[in-house]
Amino acid sequence: MKRHLPGLSATAAESRPALPDGLFLVRVESAQHRWHAQKPFYVFRFSVIEPRQFAGSPIISRLYCTTKAMWKLGWFVRDFLYDPELLSQDDLDEKALRGLTGVLKISHTIRNGVSLVNLDGFAPASQWEELSAATRVPPQPASTVGRAHHERTSR
């Protein structure tokens, strides 16, 4: 049976703008190790600090910790200024990761119908001004901005 429910599509629509591909100054909100037989990984939840129009927006992605992918995890912890003593002992403490800040370069991919956020690059937070000046995130057209966000900014 099919029913017409006026307004259903508006409530199911994304209420915040999607983040475009680009550079973001972020803070690590959480990190959690996930065991997988072939590809163990960490799920990271970041919160955007800059650019201001996206402040508070979450970025959720993963970094694999296999032998082949260890270089990328190492790049991340180095640029986000993870505790050097823990790093020298090959320890990754999820609590010590919380609150670290740095620059992420992200892109989006759709794989098997699922939208994924790729972590393409990292840099120390101290390089944000220089990097953001070189590559500004373009403003989004009003048609792609979520309704709740549009209402907040138009008041």
Q: Which domain holds residue 32?
A: 18-135
Q: Is residue 2 part of a domain?
A: no
Supply the CATH number for residue 25's domain. Answer: 2.40.50
Question: Residue 37 domain-assigned?
Answer: yes
C-alpha–C-alpha distance, residues 6 and 75, integer Å = 49
Instruction: Report the domain count for the chain.
Output: 1
For residue 106, pLDDT over 60 is answered with: yes
Residue 68: is its pLDDT beyond 90?
Answer: yes
Length of the chain: 155
- How far is the C-alpha of 10 from the C-alpha of 123, rounded, in Å? 38
> Which amino acid is located at 64 in the chain?
Y
Kindly state whether residue 81 falls inside one of the protein's structural domains: yes
pLDDT band at 110 (very low <50, low <70, confident <90, very high): confident
Structure-token pair, residue 16: 């915040």
- Residue 13 domain-assigned (yes or no): no
Q: Tell me, yes or no, whether 153 lies in a domain.
A: no
Lowest mean pLDDT among 24-33, 115-124, 144-153: 144-153
Above 70 in pLDDT, residue 126? yes
Which of 35-44, 73-82, 107-116, 131-140 ranks highest by mean pLDDT? 73-82
In a domain, 126, yes or no: yes
Whether 73 is in a domain gets the answer yes
Q: Does residue 100 fall inside a structural domain? A: yes
Per-residue confidence (pLDDT) for residue 1, from 0 to 100? 66
